[in-house]
Structure 1
Amino acid sequence: MPRIVSLWLPQWPVHRRLSAEQRELRATERKHPPRAPVDPTRPFVIAEASETAPRIVAVNPAAADAGLVAGMRLADARARLGSLQVREADPTADTAALERLAHWATRYTPSVALFEAESGTDGLFLDITGAAHLLGGEKNLLADLAKRLAAAALPARLAVAETPGAAWALAHFARTNRPILQAGTEADALAPLPVEALRLDPATAAALRRLGLKRVGTLIGQNRAPFAARFEKEFLLRLDRALGRAPEPLAFLSPPSAYTQGRTLLEPIDSEEAIVAVATRLMGDLVPRLEADGRGARALRLTLYRVDGVAHEVPLGLALPTRSPEHVARLLRLRLERHARSLEAGFGFETLRLSVTVAEAMAPRQRTFARSDETERARRCTRLHDALRQRLGPQSVRHLAPAESHVPERSQISCIAPDETSAWPALETVQPRPPLLLAHPEPASVVALVPDGPPLRIRWRGTLSTVAGAEGPERIAAEWWREGADAPTRDYYLVEDATGRRLWLYREGIPGRETAAACWFVHGLFP
């Protein structure tokens, strides 16, 4: 059975704006800032950005005591309070700050979602299914969450229920704070609450009140046909979701991971070695579960929670799945060295969580006795690839991928090393290709038998050499759909001169058919 925490922040836009202005004031370090800061002890409101009849979005406690409420016209509020402090609403900044708070809340559970538009966009849903016991139960989890929010001067109301709708209703309208609703008691708990507890739009709520239906209990058990005929289907859907009759999917910040492990420390840590040591133990705790499922970690995310509430995420990507804590520790150490300046420890990290974001099937490997050289070489290359990606960044490691073209310079492309590499196409006959392909074919002077004989002498880069042996030709037709119908054909030769140098060159154009005098180009080098 799911267990959902509703975290409602009644004054979120106000709190976010006051915090932002305090940071700006500290950053400027001026005695006389360009604009006087907001005095939180006096009436203060957030108003929507509108040129015609703007309305109040949120009010602080002083403004609420003066009779101002959200939805009131700003002109009426100014008429009532001449010294009213007003700031323009910034929904984008509010949402960004709420996302940062949601990342911080993942210290309790990896499954955290923001309130959507119908819920007010001023709170969070936390799916604590299977996570509450880590803090001694749901009551202790709510107490710890409320304590930390209070320390940040962030007023909040909390509730736990089996459905997001019921938890939201209790957090907003229950007489007591932090109620914990047991499974199967949703109808009894919601019955005395107003119909607004169902997250209805104002027009629907007003219509229900005109009909005398003011409490949720007056809607439960009623004949549904009249409601379906008069109201939008969202009305009955909200009721069913609150009572657990219909599912309510939540858009979590990140997909829940089947493999995650966290640890809260007795004392905060701030050194790189301590972080790596804790992360290594967390990976060791995940290994038995990965082995039982026959899977390995292909991508991981280490989340570091600072004492002051800031959360840092450290992603790790691997070329192949692994279950080695030592390998993960080595990559994490390289990543932390690369981000040493941007990773501010502050007063230290008190909680760490390691999650496997991508898990793939991992075949059993023989660790001892006979191990082929090819297997050992592939393992070393994989470890080198992983180390370079963590130390230099994933954008710095590139690889060659096959492309659908027979023209040598287009048959492969250089791209950022992906999580999964595409296989090279299997060919019935494999033609020789140089390991070093020049960026651009370089012209050469060639003496050859006409009309289509192999090269006998080559002058390239100012050096004249005699050909000792040649293989070819390999004819490659032009891609007429790209280069046009008149694009010349290429005849490639692999030649070796008297000094042992091996070149890959081609004759452009078929003599007598496409050109009168063929041109030669060196395109690559063989070892």
Structure 2
Amino acid sequence: AAEQREQPAAEQRKLHAAEQPKLHAAERKRSSRAPVNPARPFVIAEASETAPCIVAVNPAAADAGLAPGMRLADARARLGSLQVRQDDPMADTAALERLAHWATRYTPSVALFKAESGTDGLFLDITGAAHLLGGEENLLADLAERLDAANLPARIAVAETPGAAWALAHFARTNRAILPAGTEANALAPLPIEALRLDPATAVTLRRLGLKRVGMLLGQHRAPFAARFEKELLLRLDRALGRAPEPLAFLTPPPAYTQIRTLLEPIDSEEAIVAVATRLMDDLVPRLETDGKGARALRLTLYRVDGAAHEIPFGLALPTRSPEHVARLLRLRLERHARSLEAGFGFETLRLSVTVVEAMAPRQRTLARSDETERTRRCTRLHDALRQRLGPQSVRHLAPVESHLPERSQISCMTPDDASSWPAFETAQPRPPLLLAHPEPANVVALVPDGPPLRIRWRGTLSTIARTQGPERIAAEWWRDGADAPTRDYYLVEDGTGRRLWLYREGIPGRETTDARWFVHGLFP
């Protein structure tokens, strides 16, 4: 305390000044916890320590003369009391993606605005989906009503092209607009040049040239614009008018078939979800039969009352059109995700989409099935049930490969092959049901030069061979890499404890090697 009293006044002022930023930081932290009052001016500013700028303003701030791009210090000097929050682009993107998943209740084709579009909205391709809600006007009204109920003010427009819809949503006089097909030029003509989603520098240059409206570009010769500006200008104009296509990066690939149902009362039980999904699959079966297709992968989307959307994807081993089989797999899937699936106040809308299809040949239904058909059907159902219980990565199936080398004769795959694809012939020597991933070296005592094994030490255990069957000679495949590999002589042996091993001697003694090596390659039960 005595030392602090002896400090010069200048040093005390220095310490006091150093404490000021900490006090301001504490004030900002306390203000960030306080709820925002929408009736007062509120802005979102950049997360910058030096001269941050305003990113967005609420209506009260806009009425007070604040606008995006203004420096935060100037805004504070103008109003004094101002509610401020820092910009969080990652949180904004995550929230927009959640809103996009919710919007798939209207159409499965939903895309986020790109950077040049402002990243403040969504594109919904409602082609072929508007009739489910009674037309475009009813769809627009339902969408606006739900957004208003969630306190999400939005401007919505329907047009033939994404560019025209974006322009009307941002610059039209009304919050809702439906543009008839073929009237894009007349509707865009009175809008400002920024409605074409141009680069800010390009828009400024056009305004300096006196081209302030989109209509001033219509009917002009294209050559001067192509020479003066980047191709972005003419491309944006052509896309807005429908002269050039505009691809959209949808949140999920559009499904091959989809069916949606909105319920009068929300549901929250597993039995009710499976029952509705079964009816949706029943509605899809006639369309699949007409096209000769079967479902290989499906996705059930559950839309909660509060706006959250849950997706439940599941795949099948073989294509199917059976609603009962789909319901059985979905029930297993729901049991596996019971903890992570929160129903909340219930699910009001369900959508079943077939994301992957395969050709499915007609099958006989009236006569009795053959034993082979019944066995294939039962194996397929078991494979699907195991995948839903254990996960798709936990179940593997063996597929044949044309090779006489044991490690090359089969591969592990995700989907089962038809049994007819396996070779019809049988080898003279048996094959072990368990093949090791890599042949393991073993110390073997055998008669020289090519006698059968008499004693073996493998994995630290020494045992005497009681019975031997073989050898079966397998040479390397001359048409593949590694054709110069040594020849193998395979033996099926049984030791004194009853353990049966499949081992081989690498190299023919006296011709390919002088010191043959032994390996264990498989196990018999």
* TM-score computed with the length of structure 1 as normaliser: 0.84
Whether 1:36 and 2:33 are equivalent positions in the alignment is: yes
For 1:391-406, list aligned pairs within 5 A.
391-400=389-398
Whether 1:258 and 2:256 are equivalent positions in the alignment is: yes
User: What is the aligned partner in structure 1 of residue 474 from structure 2?
Assistant: 474
Residue identity in the other structure for 1:40 = N
User: What is the aligned partner in structure 1 of residue 440 from structure 2?
Assistant: 441
Q: Give 1:410 shift.
A: 6.6
C-alpha separation between the residues in 2 aligned to 1:428 and 1:375?
21
Q: Give 1:107 shift.
A: 0.4
User: What is the aligned partner in structure 2 of residue 10 from structure 1?
Assistant: none
Contact map agreement 2:302 2:349 (CA 8 A) in 1: yes
User: What is the aligned partner in structure 1 of residue 359 from structure 2?
Assistant: 361
Q: Give 1:158 shift.
A: 0.7
Contact map agreement 1:458 1:466 (CA 8 A) in 2: no
C-alpha separation between the residues in 2 aligned to 1:180 and 1:171?
10
Contact map agreement 1:475 1:492 (CA 8 A) in 2: no
User: What is the aligned partner in structure 2 of residue 74 from structure 1?
Assistant: 72
C-alpha separation between the residues in 2 aligned to 1:173 and 1:455?
87
* From 504, 516, 526, the counterpart of 2:502: 504
C-alpha separation between the residues in 1 aligned to 2:403 and 2:41?
70
Can you list the C-alpha shifts for 1:486-516, whole angstroms capped at 9, x where unaligned?
x875421235789997642222454346665
User: What is the aligned partner in structure 1 of residue 233 from structure 2?
Assistant: 235
C-alpha separation between the residues in 2 aligned to 1:524 and 1:171?
68
Can you list the C-alpha shifts for 1:67-96, whole angstroms capped at 9, x where unaligned?
111111223223223333333222222112
C-alpha separation between the residues in 1 aligned to 2:420 and 2:110?
38
Contact map agreement 1:474 1:493 (CA 8 A) in 2: no
C-alpha separation between the residues in 2 aligned to 1:469 and 1:223?
89
The DSSP-based 3-state class of the residue aligned with 2:177 is coil
Residue identity in the other structure for 1:320 = L
For 1:127-526, list aligned pairs within 5 A.
127-400=125-398, 408=406, 414=412, 417-418=414-415, 430=427, 432=429, 433-438=431-436, 441=440, 443=442, 445-448=444-447, 450-455=448-453, 464-467=464-467, 469-475=469-475, 490-495=488-493, 503-512=501-510, 518=516, 520-526=518-524
Residue identity in the other structure for 1:128 = I
Can you list the C-alpha shifts for 1:144-184, whole angstroms capped at 9, x where unaligned?
11111011111101111111111111111111221111111
What runs of 5+ residues in structure 1 fail to find an aligned partner?
A: 1-31
Contact map agreement 1:270 1:349 (CA 8 A) in 2: yes
Judged with a 3 Å threshold, the aligned counterparts in structure 2 of structure 1 residues 49 and 150 are, in CA distance, closer, same or farther, namely: same
What's the C-alpha RMSD, in Å, of the aligned pairs? 3.4
* TM-score computed with the length of structure 2 as normaliser: 0.84
Contact map agreement 1:171 1:178 (CA 8 A) in 2: yes
Can you list the C-alpha shifts for 1:231-261, whole angstroms capped at 9, x where unaligned?
2211111112112222211111122223110
C-alpha separation between the residues in 2 aligned to 1:444 and 1:258?
58
The DSSP-based 3-state class of the residue aligned with 1:72 is coil
Judged with a 3 Å threshold, the aligned counterparts in structure 2 of structure 1 residues 35 and 165 are, in CA distance, closer, same or farther, namely: closer
The DSSP-based 3-state class of the residue aligned with 1:207 is helix
The DSSP-based 3-state class of the residue aligned with 1:110 is coil
C-alpha separation between the residues in 2 aligned to 1:435 and 1:271?
44
User: What is the aligned partner in structure 2 of residue 14 from structure 1?
Assistant: none
Judged with a 3 Å threshold, the aligned counterparts in structure 2 of structure 1 residues 73 and 430 are, in CA distance, closer, same or farther, namely: farther
Residue identity in the other structure for 2:367 = F
C-alpha separation between the residues in 2 aligned to 1:397 and 1:464?
37
The DSSP-based 3-state class of the residue aligned with 1:80 is helix
Contact map agreement 2:464 2:495 (CA 8 A) in 1: no
* From 49, 52, 55, the counterpart of 1:54: 52
Which moved further from structure 2: 100-109 or 450-459? 450-459
Q: Give 1:276 shift.
A: 0.4
Q: Give 1:186 shift.
A: 1.3
Can you list the C-alpha shifts for 1:94-126, whole angstroms capped at 9, x where unaligned?
112111101100101111111111211100111
Can you list the C-alpha shifts for 1:357-405, whole angstroms capped at 9, x where unaligned?
0011111122342433222211111111111111121122123456898
Aligned-residue identity in percent: 80
Higher relative contact order (CA 8 A, sep 6+): 1
Residue identity in the other structure for 2:64 = A
Judged with a 3 Å threshold, the aligned counterparts in structure 2 of structure 1 residues 198 and 504 are, in CA distance, closer, same or farther, namely: same
Contact map agreement 1:472 1:494 (CA 8 A) in 2: no
User: What is the aligned partner in structure 1 of residue 13 from structure 2?
Assistant: none
User: What is the aligned partner in structure 1 of residue 96 from structure 2?
Assistant: 98
Contact map agreement 1:166 1:243 (CA 8 A) in 2: yes
User: What is the aligned partner in structure 1 of residue 22 from structure 2?
Assistant: none
Residue identity in the other structure for 2:37 = P
Residue identity in the other structure for 1:474 = I
Judged with a 3 Å threshold, the aligned counterparts in structure 2 of structure 1 residues 425 and 77 are, in CA distance, closer, same or farther, namely: farther
